[in-house]
Amino acid sequence: MSAGLLAACAGDHGDLIFFLGTTGLRFGEATALTVADLDIPSRTLTVSKSVSEVDGKRLITIPKNSKTRTLVLPQATLTRVAHLVEGRDAGDLLFTTSTGAAILHGNFYNRVWRPAVTAAALDPLRIHDLRHTAASLAVASGANVKAVQAMLGHASAAMTLDRYAGLFTDHLEAVADRMDVVLADGDWHESGTESTITPIKRPAL
């Protein structure tokens, strides 16, 4: 699924859809972000809160798993959303409606998401499926399971593997090819107590 294609069909809310599809944030996490959470110079994003909706009212809560996490954004994502911080106060919401109001899930789903998904011929895509899109992009870019876990805010790497094991399996051929490059240089051994890979020392003949 192309986050770019779907974003192009979403009009003024294309930035949010592209952001969700490249960062893996939950909808409530993204719509709780403020200008202060995005640090342009360091390309980092701090995720420390989320939004829950009860009877149409927004409640600010802590993220799922009760953990704050910091992401380093791809340059394409940063470029896409950088304009959202210009001339705005630190406490302002990063993503808002066209009138500057907070984004509510139900309104967004009915007025933006469904029309965009239909226009992009991506039925029956869910908003939550954008997390899978982001995970797929990360794995395709070389991310290991721990990196994907940190990006998505999962409680454990085991949870990440339970949900996205297929993504890593799909890239086993590429891993094998890279191993061939390393092995072509000789016999190698990774110490169980060290993070570096060192060559096996052969006895002198």
Residues of the chain falling short of pLDDT 70 = 1-2, 170-172, 175, 185-205
| Model pLDDT for residues 180-195, shown as the tens digit of each residue | 777 776 655 555 555 5
**CA nearest 164: which of 186, 147, 187?**
147
Contact assessment for residue 187 and residue 199, using Cβ atoms and an 8 Å cutoff: yes
- Beta carbons within 10 angstroms of residue 64's beta carbon: 14
The token pair that represents 34 in the structure block: 């403020």
| Model pLDDT for residues 57-88, shown as the tens digit of each residue | 889 988 887 789 999 999 999 999 999 999 99
- Alpha-carbon distance of 153 to 125, in angstroms, equals 22
The token pair that represents 38 in the structure block: 């995005």
Q: Where are the domains of the chain?
A: 3-129
What was the pLDDT predicted at 1? 55
- Alpha-carbon distance of 185 to 30, in angstroms, equals 46
Domain 3-129 annotated CATH 3.20.20.20:
no
